[in-house]
Amino acid sequence: MPADVTTEYLLLATAIMFLVTFGLRSLVFLAFGGGRKPPQVILYIGGVISPAIIAALIVYCFRNTTLLSRPHGLPELLATATCVLLHLWKRNPLISIIVSTIVYMILVQRVF
């Protein structure tokens, strides 16, 4: 840590981040609380944002995969298959992500 960063600075930065995050998350409840129905466009965005983020993550994860040289993308493909199969079986995104990440790290560090 640089010498000019103090404990007070870190506590203040953390407090500001907390207040901004809390405020932004509270805004939704203030805008749509009290039993009011959100506009149709908000409901649409809420329905498509998760698949869009997953698609972006898949592209990001496979962007540097080399299929023409060893290990030919096998760690990525095996970890992805693990994630998909676990999610279909358990329907728990957290377990799927954690286990497939562990599988990928083991494959990259120990096998390939």
Q: Report yes or no on 31 lying in a domain.
A: yes
Query: Rounded to two decimals, what is the model's pTM?
Result: 0.61
| 67 Cβ contact list (under 8 Å, min separation 6) | 73
Q: For residue 13, what are the domain limits?
A: 1-36
As given in the structure block, the two tokens for residue 25 are 């998350």
Report the greatest alpha carbon distance in the chain.
58
Q: Report yes or no on 18 lying in a domain.
A: yes
Q: Report yes or no on 108 lying in a domain.
A: no
Question: Is the pLDDT confidence value at 1 over 80?
Answer: no
Q: Report yes or no on 55 lying in a domain.
A: no
Task: Report the pLDDT value the prediction gives residue 75, as an integer from 0 to 100.
Answer: 93
Q: Report yes or no on 23 lying in a domain.
A: yes
Mean pLDDT of the chain: 90
Q: Report yes or no on 61 lying in a domain.
A: no
Q: Report yes or no on 1 lying in a domain.
A: yes
Task: Report the pLDDT value the prediction gives residue 5, as an integer from 0 to 100.
Answer: 87
Question: Is the pLDDT confidence value at 21 over 70?
Answer: yes
